Amino acid sequence: MRRSPAETATSARKITRRALFLGGSQLAFMGLLGLRMRYLQVDQADKFRLLAEDNRIGDFLLAPARGLIYDRNGTLIAENEQTFRIVIRPEDAEELDTVLEKLEALIGLSPEEQERVRKQLKDAGPSAPVTIADRLSWEAFSLISANGPALPGVTPEVGLSRYYPWHNDFAHVVGYVGPVSSYDISKMETVDPLYKIPKFQLGKFGVEAQLEDTLKGGAGLRRVEQNAYGRIIRELDRQEGQPGANIQLTVDHKLQNFVQARLGGESASAVILDVETGDILAAGSTPAFDPNLFVRGISSADYRALLENDHRPLPAKSVQGAYPPGSTFKMVTALAALEADAVDPDETVRCLGHIEYGGRRFHCWKRAGHGNLNVVGSLRHSCDVFYYEMAQRAGIEKIAEMGRRLGLGQDYDLPLSGVSSGLMPDKQWKLENRGADWLVGDSLNASIGQGFVLATPMQLAVMTARIATNREIIPRLLKSVDGVEQPIRGGEPLGINENMLRSVRQGMFEVSNSNRGTAFASRIADEALRMSGKTGTSQVRSTVVDNSEVPWEQRDHALFVAFAPSDAPRYAVSVVVEHGGGGSSVAAPIARDLMLFALHGSVPPLSSYPSSQRNTIRERLESLPIIGQDPEKVGRSQA
């Protein structure tokens, strides 16, 4: 049926309205879509580009393996152990409260630890990771890894941590590492990115600190794909870090252990040198501490206990402790006087128990006097008056010159913390540092190792080694780096007249081997291993009072130096016992035990001791906590 013209017109008008409405709707939709696309692609381009790039690909620094430290025989004395931890970055911490609640349920993360994490995230840079928990058990680490999808931003990591298997024995030599602190960062001119890795360990003391650049290695890189929530989807690339160099020290772990055990609970130190090479075979300091306490950050209580201990366990007394050397200095004065032609080796000086100078009386330790003594006798009896006379004849300049020649007042380039140069004073030093002229009385005090003279146990061992060899022995602690042997320095002749040295060495021999020597009770019975030594007692107070009548901290220091065997020296030893009293009664017996262990390479046989002392020696050796030793067998198979 045909439509009328009116109906056709009406239908056309309806179609036109619908087309216009549909077209308008389409145009509006396209306009909105275009505006949205412009907003996303232009206005928000930077934001979404950052999300696409940063959230999708993440770069993480990998800590390298720290170099290992060995003793001279290849025994590990500082190693790395595997540890498990979890970290989070501030940029991934949007759901932090939820994450911490879940970790509390999973591994028992305490409220205190949660608060620490919040604070560190607040203080950290936008990409600096923060450790949530460290040193997790394998079970806890596995639990975290299995629940990874529910812990956005949390990254489980397997790392390495320093461990010191010999605990106290090498605390003052190897030192320790600890977490990098803001204070550590503030001291650096340029900050290695390694130090921003969570819980990265930095050398803080001893060899660990002084050879930090050698031991730390270079950072590696781990590139991962992450989703927008910070969860790692997969690892894209991994470049392991460059391990730190392995180093070998000159110390012997068995000898070092024996030194620490023999010094015991004393506030003391001892050094043993190889007189041919200058190698430091042992450098003990007691009391000591367990460096493992510092690796993860020592507690306030533990640190306070170390600080408040009057025996000072933290300093390395072998190189940091500077003491008046007392009578161990008399060899310096004797050689200075001999070389200056101020005395002939056979010339005698009469000791009446004191001398008077400038209205002041300078006493000998033996108030009744020693009578007539030459150089050898003066050392054997440790006569003070003889050396007061030598000081007046030779003068402080000659004495100071000889002291420096023998290694006192000198800096040694050792990879140890706080190495003291001691003090070998002269006229110029006093004028510059005290603003006063040098007095003859200063020379008298210096001649017997008192007054301004200061020496470390390391310097005393060097002095003794140089007297034994007449060569410039320089102490060496670093034996090799990654297998490359480090040079032995020094060794040049000192140029001291051998006849003069012979007199001094004979005096030292008689100190230990003459029945009138001050250290005769600490002699070595084996004639092939006999020791030449010198006792010393340095005052720490001006009044003359018996040590038993004053508090411990006011008692005299006890010292002893020696080399052995006397006929063909191999080792030099020095021992200082703070406030120990007498060098002959306290320091000399320790030095003999240390020397014998060095000579034998193990616990000394009882045959090396005088027969009358062997029962006492046996009991003493049995009581020592020596590694690899059965207390029931010590001495018995060697008697």
Alpha helices, H only, 264-356: 292-295, 300-308, 317-320, 330-339
Rounded Cα distance between 464 and 453, Å, is: 17
- Find the mean pLDDT for residues 412-422: 96
The pairing of beta strand 280-286 with beta strand 268-274: antiparallel
CB within 8 Å of 376: residues ≥ 6 apart: 345, 503, 506, 507, 510
Give the pLDDT mean for 69-81: 96
Residue 294 included in any domain: yes
- Whether residue 564 sits in one domain with residue 608: no
What is the average pLDDT across 279-283?
Answer: 98
pLDDT > 90: what percent of the chain? Answer: 62
Rounded distance between C-alpha atoms, residue 68 and residue 244, angstroms? 8
Q: Which two tokens stand for residue 561?
A: 């130096």
Average pLDDT over residues 167-183: 93
| Same domain for 565 and 544 | yes
The answer to whether residue 51 is domain-embedded is no
Q: Where is average pLDDT lowest: 351-355, 420-424, 551-555, 619-623?
A: 551-555
The span from the CA of 470 to the CA of 43, in Å, is: 83
Per-residue pLDDT, 552: 72
- Does residue 331 fall inside a structural domain? yes
Q: What is the pLDDT of residues 380-397, one digit of tens each?
A: 999 999 999 999 999 999
Same domain, yes or no: 419 and 469: yes
Lowest mean pLDDT among 91-100, 164-173, 355-364: 91-100
pLDDT confidence band for 241 (50 / 70 / 90): confident
238: confidence class by pLDDT, cuts 50, 70, 90: confident
**Is there a single domain that holds both residue 296 and residue 234?**
no
Residue 491 pLDDT > 50: yes
Longest dimension (CA), the chain: 160
| Tens of pLDDT, residues 335-351 | 999 999 999 999 999 99
Is 52 within the bounds of a domain?
Answer: no
Of 17-31, 172-186, 222-236, 539-553, give the lowest mean pLDDT range: 222-236
When divided into structural domains, the chain yields a total of 3
Predicted confidence (pLDDT) per residue in 2-58, tens digit: 666 666 666 666 667 666 667 667 777 777 777 777 766 666 665 555 555 555 676
Residue 261, pLDDT above cutoff 90? yes
Residue 150 has pLDDT above 80, yes or no: no
Q: Please check whether residues 154 and 279 belong to one and the same domain.
A: no
How many residues appear in the chain? 639
> What CA–CA distance (Å, rounded) separates 132 from 297?
15
Residue 212 sits in a domain whose CATH number is 3.90.1310.10
Q: Rounded distance, CA 170 to CA 175, Å?
A: 7
In a domain, 521, yes or no: yes
- pLDDT at position 634 is 37
Give the pLDDT band (50/70/90) at residue 120: confident
User: Is residue 171 domain-shared with residue 266, that is, in the same domain?
Assistant: no
Rounded Cα gap, residues 44 and 366, in angstroms: 94
Residues 166, 271: one domain? no
The rounded mean pLDDT for the chain is 88
pLDDT band at 235 (very low <50, low <70, confident <90, very high): low
Are residues 626 and 598 part of one domain? no
Tell me the pLDDT tens digit for each residue of 508-554.
999 999 999 999 999 999 999 999 999 999 887 655 566 666 787 78
- The encoded tokens of residue 274 equal 């190889």
Whether residues 272 and 341 share a domain: the answer is yes
pLDDT at 221: 77
DSSP letter at 46 equals H
Q: Are residues 159 and 270 in the same domain?
A: no
Report, as an integer, the average pLDDT of 502-506. Answer: 98
pLDDT at 63 over 70: yes
Task: Report pLDDT for 629.
Answer: 47
Domain assignment present for residue 431? The answer is yes
266 and 150 assigned to the same domain: no
What is the domain range of residue 296?
A: 253-304+313-602
Same domain for 175 and 291, yes or no, is no
Bridge-partner residues for 59, per DSSP?
Answer: 223
* Identity at 603, one-letter amino acid code: V
- Is residue 233 over pLDDT 80? no
Where residue 635 falls among pLDDT bands split at 50, 70, 90?
Answer: very low
